[in-house]
Amino acid sequence: MKLSILMPVYNERTVVERCISLVLHAPLPENMERELVIVDDRSSDGTYAILERLAARHPEIRLFRHEINRGKGAAVRSAIEHATGDFSLIQDADLEYDPSEYPQLLKPLLDGRGDAVFGSRYLSGEQTRVLLFWHSVINKSLTLISNMFCNLNLTDMETCYKAFRTDLLKSIPIRSDRFGFEPEIVMKCAKRKLRIYEVPISYHGRTYEEGKKIGWKDGVKALGVVLKFWLVDDLYAAPYGRGVLNNLTGTPQYLSWLARLVRPHVGDSVLELGAGIGNIAGRLMGRRLLYVAAEKEPLHLHALRNRFLRTPNVSVQRIDPDSAADFDGLALRFDTALCLNVLEYVQEPEAVVARIHETLAPGGNLIVLVPQGGSLLGTLDRSMGHLRRFESRELETLLTRAGFQIEKKYNLNKIGKPPWWIHSKLLGSVRIHKVTLKIFDKTVWLWRRIDRILPWNGLSLVMIAKKTGGDRPRVAEEPAEAVAMR
C-alpha cells in the first residue's frame, strides 16, 4: 500500500523545511509506503529553491510548480492528478497540523469503514492552541451552514486534514482555485454519499503575523461555494459510464413515476442489471427476499455497496452485460429481471437478452426500458454513450426471439419527446442542463397526467415480457398513466 501526501505550498520559506522533515518521518501503518507530492503555487520568497534542494535529497518527494499563482484549491487539484497512492492525505506546509497523527486519520480507511476521513480541531481530547475568537466563530458558522445544505453533522468542515481513497478523490472534480476547495469537496462527498468519518486532531494555529493567509473574504466566498455546489450536481471528474443518467438522483419525482409503473410486475427475487448508484433499487428493494443490484462500473459498484451496506436482502454484484462469464451461477435464480437503460449501451443486445433469459425461472418477468425512436438519435444520445434507440416492433422481435412473451408495453414520458428532438437534432446539444431537469421533475405531477392523452409515442419505451415457450403472443398496449394512477 502507498500513501500520497498532497502538499500545496506558497511562500513558506521559514517553516517548509521543518514541515517536510516531519512529514517524511511521520509514523505510518506497517508496510505502507509514502510519496510526498508537492505543488509550489509560484512562491516568490525563495521557497521553491528550498523545495528543489529537498526534492534532490529525498526520492519520496515529487515536486511540481505552477507557472502563475492560482490558489490552494488549484494546487491541491494538481497534486491529486499526480497522486499514485492507494490513499491520499492533504497536508499544509505551515506546521499548524501534526503529521504524527497520520495513523489515526488513516485507520477508518484501512479498516474499510470509511471513504473519507476528516481531522477535527473541535472534537475533544487533543491539544489546541488558544487563538482568535472571531476566527473560531467564523469557522464554526461555516461548518454549520455547510451541514445545513449537505445534511451532514461535521464539527470542522474547514479542516486541512482530509484523507481519501485515491480512486474516489480522483473521480471528484475540483473547480475552486482558492480556499473554496474545503466546502466544495465536503458538498460533493455528501452528494456522492461517501462514508465520512471524523477523528480528533491537535491544532497549533498561527496568527496573521506568523503567516496565516486565509481571511474573512475567503469566508464570504465559502458561503457562495456552498450554495453553488448545493444547486449544481457536478459530481464526476469526467463523463463516467452512465454518469449522466445516474445524476437523475436530482429527479426523484420522475424516478418515482418509473418505479410506480414497473412495481406491479416485480417479484420476490430480482436481478437489476445496470443498477447505477441505486436510484431504482432503493425504490423497489423493499419487501423483496433477494435483490441483486448488478453493475460493471467500479465507482457505481462502490456507491451501491455504501448505499446497501446494512440492507441484508440486497446483494451488490459486478456483472458486465456484455460478458457471458459474469452470468455464471445465475441460471434460474430469479423471478424478475430489470434491464432499465442498458440495451442502448451494449454491443450485442441479442446476446444480453439471451443471458437474462437464462437467469429467470420459468414464468419469470423481464422488465426492459429503452430510449424509443431511431429518428431521435442525435447529439444527446452520442454524448451519453447510446449506440442506438429502439422502435417498438424492433424491441418486441428481439425479446420474442429470445423466448419471451410480451405481456404489456408502455409509452413513457411523451412530453419529453419534442424538447429532446429540438435539443438533440436541431440545436446539437450535448448535455441536459441541471436546471432543466429540476424544472421537469417539479412538474412531473402534471406531465404524467398529460402523457396518456398525447397522440405520439413516448421518449422511452417499457416492455414487460414473460419467460415462456409458447406461441407468439398478442401485445397489450396500456397507457403508462393507467398504471401510474392506480
Q: What is the mean pLDDT of residues 463-472?
A: 74
Residue 484 pLDDT class (50, 70, 90 cuts): very low
The DSSP code for 372 is B
Residue 397: is its pLDDT beyond 70? yes
Question: For 444, left (φ over 0), alpha (ψ -120 to 50), or beta?
Answer: alpha
| C-alpha atoms less than 13 angstroms from C-alpha of 468 in its C-beta half-sphere | 13
Q: Read off the C-alpha cell for 337.
A: 429481471
Q: Read off the C-alpha cell for 301.
A: 459498484
Residue 212: is its pLDDT beyond 60? no
**pLDDT at residue 236, as a whole number:** 81
**pLDDT at residue 300, as a whole number:** 87
Q: Which residue has the cell 454491443?
A: 347
Q: What is the DSSP string of 43-86?
A: -SSSHHHHHHHHHHH-TTEEEEE-SS---HHHHHHHHHHH--SS
Q: Is 155 exposed, middle or buried (0-12, 13-18, 19+ CB in 10 A)?
A: middle
| Helix, strand, coil percentages, rounded to 5, for the chain | 40, 20, 40
Q: Read off the C-alpha cell for 391.
A: 422502435
**pLDDT at residue 389, as a whole number:** 97
Classify each residue of 81-91 as buried b or exposed e, where b means 16 or more C-beta atoms within 10 Å of its C-beta: eebebbbbbbb
| 127-159 residue pLDDT tens | 666 667 777 888 899 999 999 999 999 999 999
Residue 25: is its pLDDT beyond 90? yes
| 310-364 residue pLDDT tens | 899 999 999 999 999 999 999 999 999 999 999 999 999 999 999 999 999 999 9
Q: Which residues pair with 40 in a beta bridge?
A: 9, 65
The DSSP code for 178 is S
**pLDDT at residue 238, as a whole number:** 62
Classify each residue of 43-69 as buried b or exposed e, where b means 16 or more C-beta atoms within 10 Å of its C-beta: beeebbebbeebbeeeeebbbebbeee
Tell me if residue 105 falls in helix, strand or coil. Answer: helix
Q: What is the mean pLDDT of residues 442-469?
A: 93
CB of 41 closer than 8 Å to CB of 18: no
Residue 481: is its pLDDT beyond 60? no
Residue 75: is its pLDDT beyond 60? yes
Residue 485 pLDDT class (50, 70, 90 cuts): very low
Residue 41: is its pLDDT beyond 90? yes
Pairing of strands 314-318, 404-412: unpaired
- Name 275's Cβ contacts closer than 8 Å, sequence gap at least 6: 281, 293, 294, 295, 300, 304, 316
What torsion do the CA atoms of 43, 49, 50, 54 make, to the nearest 10 degrees? 120
Residue 27: is its pLDDT beyond 60? yes
| End-to-end CA separation in angstroms for the chain | 55
| 279-298 residue pLDDT tens | 899 999 998 999 999 999 88
Q: Which CATH number fits domain 243-484: 3.30.450.20, 3.90.226.10, 3.40.50.150, 3.90.550.10?
A: 3.40.50.150
Q: Where are the domains of the chain?
A: 2-231, 243-484
Kind and range of the H or E run holding 4: strand 2-9
**pLDDT at residue 184, as a whole number:** 97
Q: What is the DSSP string of 373-439?
A: -GGG-SHHHHHHT----B-HHHHHHHHHHTTEEEEEEEEE-GGGHHHHHIIIIIS---S--HHHHHH
Q: What is the mean pLDDT of residues 400-408?
A: 96
C-alpha span between 414 and 2 (Å, rounded): 52
The least confident of 3-7, 80-84, 169-173 is: 169-173
**pLDDT at residue 161, as a whole number:** 97
Give, in words, the CATH class of 2-231.
alpha beta
Tell me if residue 340 falls in helix, strand or coil. Answer: strand
Q: Is 389 exposed, middle or buried (0-12, 13-18, 19+ CB in 10 A)?
A: buried
Q: Which residue has the cell 408495453?
A: 409
Residue 474 pLDDT class (50, 70, 90 cuts): very low
Query: Residues of the chain with pLDDT > 70: what percent?
Result: 90
| 238-281 residue pLDDT tens | 655 554 444 445 678 999 999 999 999 999 999 999 999 898 99
**pLDDT at residue 243, as a whole number:** 47
The least confident of 120-129, 301-310, 372-381 is: 120-129
Between 291 and 434, the higher pLDDT residue: 291
Quote the pTM value: 0.72
Residue 104: is its pLDDT beyond 50? yes
Please provide the average confidence, as pLDDT, over all residues in the chain: 89
The DSSP code for 330 is -
Q: What is the mean pLDDT of residues 299-313?
A: 88
Q: What is the CA radius of gyration of the chain?
A: 26
Q: Which residue has the cell 506568523?
A: 210
Residue 476: is its pLDDT beyond 80? no
Between 209 and 30, the higher pLDDT residue: 30
What torsion do the CA atoms of 218, 220, 223, 224 make, to the nearest 10 degrees? -90
Residue 475: is its pLDDT beyond 50? no
C-alpha span between 378 and 373 (Å, rounded): 11
Q: What are phi and psi of 87, to 5 degrees?
A: -130, 155
| 160-209 residue pLDDT tens | 999 999 989 998 999 999 889 999 999 999 988 899 999 999 988 755 55
**pLDDT at residue 207, as a whole number:** 58
User: Strands across the sheet with 314-318, in order?
Assistant: 314-318, 290-295, 269-273, 334-340, 360-371, 460-467, 404-412, 476-477
